[in-house]
Amino acid sequence: MARILLVDDDLRLSEVIEDWLTAEEHVVEYQSDGRGGWEKMSGSEYDVIILDWNLPDANGPELCRRFRDSGKTTPVLMLTGRNNIENKVEGLDAGADDYLTKPFSPKELSARLRALLRRFMAKTASSAGELLSAANLKLDRKGRTLHVAGQPVHLLPREFALLEFFMLHPEQVFSANEIMDHVWSEENESSPDTVRVHITKLRSKLGSTGDDSWIKTVHRVGYKFSPPN
């Protein structure tokens, strides 16, 4: 589940996008103009920003450039009806991470967003330290070891990858499908059931289950990594 800001003055298209992304279990906030969009962009944190090129009171690339100049690194997907290479270059040079030309399929939008999220999370992971800690958990990313309360715990490769993913994104809720995209991204045999089985095994190895588990089930949404109750 990602928190997404949508800034576009096309109300009909925005409704379609918001309904589609909400059905995919994302949280979408909407602004129809540049002023409101900038207030949200500069004052709140999002996983992805979808930004229209032409707004009633602002230019999308200029907003994106201001956003980058302020030090923000949130991925930005630019929407536009312009399809020539010069406009694409202008948008990317302004700091956009990707570019989608109208009209487009909601399925393509979803695919672009998943790719942006994967790249951003991979970049975040690569910049993190070799040792991840949370209370009595110590995960050595280089040595591929886990210690719980000072005791070594053996993890299978997929269990290690799953715990590493959760520890890199504490308190964030992810659906089973999102976890599949990030932890099983190169395998076709994964499924929500596969995710559930691995989480059950990982909970057991961490020595806690249910409400006392590090990995909590968020009803009808997914899972999050959070200190035991």
CATH architecture of 129-225: Orthogonal Bundle (1.10)
User: Is the pTM higher than 0.75?
Assistant: no
Hey, where are the domains in the chain?
3-124, 129-225
Strands (E) located in the chain: 3-7, 27-31, 48-52, 54-55, 58-59, 76-80, 98-101, 131-134, 137-140, 145-148, 151-153, 215-218, 222-225
Q: Sort strands 76-80 and 98-101 into parallel, antiparallel or unpaired.
A: parallel
Within this chain, domains 3-124 and 129-225 share the same CATH topology: no
CATH match of 3-124 with 3.40.50.2300:
yes
**pLDDT tens for the chain, residues 1 to 229:** 788 999 999 999 999 999 999 998 888 999 999 999 999 998 888 889 999 998 999 999 999 999 999 888 889 999 988 777 887 788 888 899 998 999 999 999 999 998 888 777 766 665 556 888 888 899 998 889 999 988 999 999 999 999 999 998 888 888 888 888 888 865 556 788 889 999 999 999 998 766 678 999 988 888 999 888 6
